[in-house]
Chain A
């Protein structure tokens, strides 16, 4: 087997299923009458192809295998509802009712939200959209530009703050991000803001000193208000693979992530890794980003997400 042969073969394999996972389950159901091992194997492929990952995929498939046996299910048409059930059970909270509306603000004022994540996942854009939603609901919203590292980060968040109608607290490029956050929370309290959203610089979860910096930001916020930040949102790009788990683990360990924003779901990536994160680390998915416009942020809906895993 020469190298070219092998590449060629791989390419053909991929080409055959070019359509992606478009209506795959539907096809599976229509072409197969019974739920056999081969059907389960194809299901496994769909989940793996959506970045759900080996562990969570195996759990789902094993559960289905057991149910098929115990409940004597044989008809492939019973597969889809069962699959949705089982996937729902993997989410944080064991598939209890849909989570409450993440846009609804609890009583504490100012409600401090810190947004974290690796570089390029769409933190700043998500903050712009989030601010827009809160402003539209009649809240006084402020944004802190605590990404003092990236070139032109201040300008970028500035544009979003203006679009959303939120006040911006910033210092010059290279300033101490913790100082920005401290001042911002203070300003939010004194100006009577309802929501304070803190943008942080993108950082790889493997950079010890940068993760320490994030911890410090949280610490100084707590000096202003021991209950803050009330929410720490981790932004995860929908195209992220298995590394998403490490991201959630490390950010969780350093600042205690309370929820996920799954960004860039308007592409072809399914963001299946959040299912694994939700299950293993018990972190709920709260928001999804579905486009570049300011109102392209939605509350995460478990049912819709599961549908999308198998939909075109």
Chain B
């Protein structure tokens, strides 16, 4: 779905190429597409509308640099605004002056509270804290058993009590923590509907009874338009300190986070990304903004490339490419240009279609370092005429660069492939390459 949207947006952007200034006409179509993208990402429709309006006002009349199109400029403005709206990436949890620190976790049914509580407990334990989990969900069948099982998995105690109210369980847990030198209490509450007055009163009563240092609202990343209503209702009752976005390992785009920020202005503190108990991450606004837009940040890439890539060098390179004389020296030079653009994983993330790299498929920047070392271990002659690199030269290069012959072979193979590609690409390809500033085949 992302790719489809990306394509659409790029199609629109293409039409705008070569127009000098942002006007109502040339951005109308882009903004329509962006609105669609936001709605498909579950951003509340009113928030989306207002947001687009603000961006339009901000962008109108802006001079467009020669190098980018008005559409690209608009998308960049939108991306920046989204990041700004999503806030900071602070996952700081308030601490009590005198322990225990009390953390209250609340949310709708099925949003992932219990799993999150266990993850948070594990996270705090790793930071050297001594958490106690408290099972204050007395309604859902086996909710207490679930928390106890999870508690056992992370080797942490779980406080529970039969036949007493959730308020008493919470109070009892804090008392228990004080007596047993646990310095954090994480209270897992029952899932509740925001319009269930009785249940909302109950969670309010828990808050009043234990005066939590931190209240976290848990929200499912798949939530649609209703996120605004639930966030607001929970905030009115609890005045929570931050939100947790769960089930982010799925393919929901998480536009609910924007709605939530717009509705209550509270920070998002954690992202929960799986059923394993270590699948808890700090929140990164820029990543979520890219995910919501569902497209690689083409503009940033283009701009970075243009900033960094020396025009003169590019012209020379292009001439060489046309004669198909792309040497390892050029390769090295290009590598250095790429490095200036930032970590490789980030650069790749900016390319459309690369925004859905499977988890764990992180691009290793050290590969670049290795390639550089290998080329630097070659003589100038070898770099200019790679054909002369025979077996014994490869051995020497490997030894000189602290790599293996296989590494050298791999690089030579990549270089060969690039050469072939250059030949087939012809003139158009060379131009495209200059625009990207990226060695092909990387």
| Complex-state Cα separation, A194 to B176, whole angstroms | 50
Q: Is B318 an interface residue (CB 8 A)?
A: no
Q: Is B169 an interface residue (CB 8 A)?
A: no
| Complex-state Cα separation, A212 to B84, whole angstroms | 40
Q: Which of A7, A154, A159 is close to B262, meaning CB atoms less than 8 Å apart?
A: A7
User: Judging by beta carbons under 8 Å apart, are B263 and A14 in contact?
Assistant: yes
Per DSSP, chain A at the interface is loop
Q: Which residues of A contact B193 (CB under 8 A)?
A: 264, 266-267
* Segment from B178-186, B245-253, B408-416 that makes contact with A: B245-253
Q: Is B111 an interface residue (CB 8 A)?
A: yes
- Contact A48-B45, Cβ < 8 Å, known A10-B262, A267-B195: yes
Q: Is B39 an interface residue (CB 8 A)?
A: yes
Q: Which residues of A contact B58 (CB under 8 A)?
A: 1
Chain A interface residue count: which class? Answer: 35 or more
User: Within the complex, what minimum Cβ distance (angstroms) separates A145 from chain B?
Assistant: 11
Q: Which of A20, A120, A292 is close to B220, meaning CB atoms less than 8 Å apart?
A: A120
Q: Is B406 an interface residue (CB 8 A)?
A: no
User: Judging by beta carbons under 8 Å apart, are B54 and A118 in contact?
Assistant: no
Within 8 A of A (CB), among B293-346: none
Q: Which residues of A contact B44 (CB under 8 A)?
A: 14, 49
User: Judging by beta carbons under 8 Å apart, are B141 and A155 in contact?
Assistant: yes
User: Judging by beta carbons under 8 Å apart, are B81 and A6 in contact?
Assistant: yes
The 0/1 profile, CB within 8 Å of A marked 1, for residues 221-262 of chain B is: 011111111101000000000000001011111011000011
Q: Which residues of A contact B140 (CB under 8 A)?
A: 156
User: Judging by beta carbons under 8 Å apart, are A241 and B247 in contact?
Assistant: no
| Complex-state Cα separation, A155 to B146, whole angstroms | 9
The 0/1 profile, CB within 8 Å of A marked 1, for residues 253-287 of chain B is: 10110000111010000000001000000000000
Q: Which residues of B contact A238 (CB under 8 A)?
A: 226
Q: Which residues of A contact B249 (CB under 8 A)?
A: 204, 206-207
User: Within the complex, what minimum Cβ distance (angstroms) separates A21 from chain B?
Assistant: 10
The 0/1 profile, CB within 8 Å of B marked 1, for residues 130-173 of chain A is: 00000000000000000001111111101110000000000001
Most buried by B among A11, A45, A159, A173: A11
Within 8 A of B (CB), among A254-280: 264, 266-270, 272-273
Residue of B nearest to A162 (CB): B141
Q: Is B194 an interface residue (CB 8 A)?
A: yes
| Complex-state Cα separation, A54 to B33, whole angstroms | 11
Q: Which of A6, A204, A267 is close to B54, meaning CB atoms less than 8 Å apart?
A: A6
- Contact A121-B110, Cβ < 8 Å, known A1-B57, A155-B141, A239-B223: yes
Q: Which residues of B contact A243 (CB under 8 A)?
A: 42, 222, 250-253
Within 8 A of A (CB), among B24-46: 36, 39-42, 44-46
User: Judging by beta carbons under 8 Å apart, are A268 and B110 in contact?
Assistant: no
- Contact A20-B145, Cβ < 8 Å, known A206-B249, A243-B42, A244-B222: no
- Contact A10-B150, Cβ < 8 Å, known A156-B142, A204-B250: no
- Contact A11-B224, Cβ < 8 Å, known A122-B109, A243-B250, A268-B229: no
Q: Which of B39, B85, B226, B230 is close to A48, meaning CB atoms less than 8 Å apart?
A: B39
Q: Is A222 an interface residue (CB 8 A)?
A: no
Most buried by B among A160, A204, A241: A241
| Complex-state Cα separation, A91 to B433, whole angstroms | 49
Q: Which of A159, A242, A246 is close to B141, meaning CB atoms less than 8 Å apart?
A: A159
User: Judging by beta carbons under 8 Å apart, are B141 and A160 in contact?
Assistant: yes
Q: Is A9 an interface residue (CB 8 A)?
A: yes
| Complex-state Cα separation, A150 to B112, whole angstroms | 12
User: Judging by beta carbons under 8 Å apart, are B142 and A14 in contact?
Assistant: no
User: Judging by beta carbons under 8 Å apart, are A240 and B224 in contact?
Assistant: yes
| Complex-state Cα separation, A270 to B224, whole angstroms | 10
Q: Which of B108, B110, B251 is close to A206, meaning CB atoms less than 8 Å apart?
A: B251
Q: Is B127 an interface residue (CB 8 A)?
A: no
User: Judging by beta carbons under 8 Å apart, are A10 and B47 in contact?
Assistant: yes
User: Within the complex, what minimum Cβ distance (angstroms) separates A138 from chain B?
Assistant: 25
User: Within the complex, what minimum Cβ distance (angstroms) separates A60 from chain B?
Assistant: 15
User: Judging by beta carbons under 8 Å apart, are B42 and A267 in contact?
Assistant: no
- Contact A51-B226, Cβ < 8 Å, known A7-B265, A241-B256, A243-B252: yes
Q: Which residues of B contact A206 (CB under 8 A)?
A: 249-251
Q: Which of B1, B139, B225 is close to A246, meaning CB atoms less than 8 Å apart?
A: B1
| Complex-state Cα separation, A7 to B264, whole angstroms | 9
Q: Which of A11, A239, A242 is close to B226, meaning CB atoms less than 8 Å apart?
A: A239
User: Within the complex, what minimum Cβ distance (angstroms) separates A253 from chain B?
Assistant: 14
Q: Is B67 an interface residue (CB 8 A)?
A: no
User: Within the complex, what minimum Cβ distance (angstroms) separates B383 from chain A?
Assistant: 44
User: Judging by beta carbons under 8 Å apart, are B194 and A241 in contact?
Assistant: no
Q: Which residues of B contact A1 (CB under 8 A)?
A: 54, 57-58
User: Within the complex, what minimum Cβ distance (angstroms) separates B221 from chain A?
Assistant: 8
User: Judging by beta carbons under 8 Å apart, are B247 and A204 in contact?
Assistant: yes
Q: Which residues of A contact B223 (CB under 8 A)?
A: 239-241
User: Judging by beta carbons under 8 Å apart, are B85 and A241 in contact?
Assistant: no
Q: Which residues of A contact B228 (CB under 8 A)?
A: 14
Q: Is B379 an interface residue (CB 8 A)?
A: no
21 intermolecular pairs with C-beta atoms under 8 Å apart: A9-B50, A17-B46, A50-B225, A51-B224, A53-B39, A118-B250, A119-B275, A122-B110, A150-B146, A151-B150, A153-B146, A173-B149, A205-B251, A237-B110, A238-B226, A239-B108, A240-B224, A241-B225, A242-B39, A269-B225, A269-B226
Report the 7 A-B pairs with minimum CB-CB distance, sorted nearest first: A241-B224, A120-B110, A241-B42, A151-B149, A159-B141, A152-B145, A155-B142
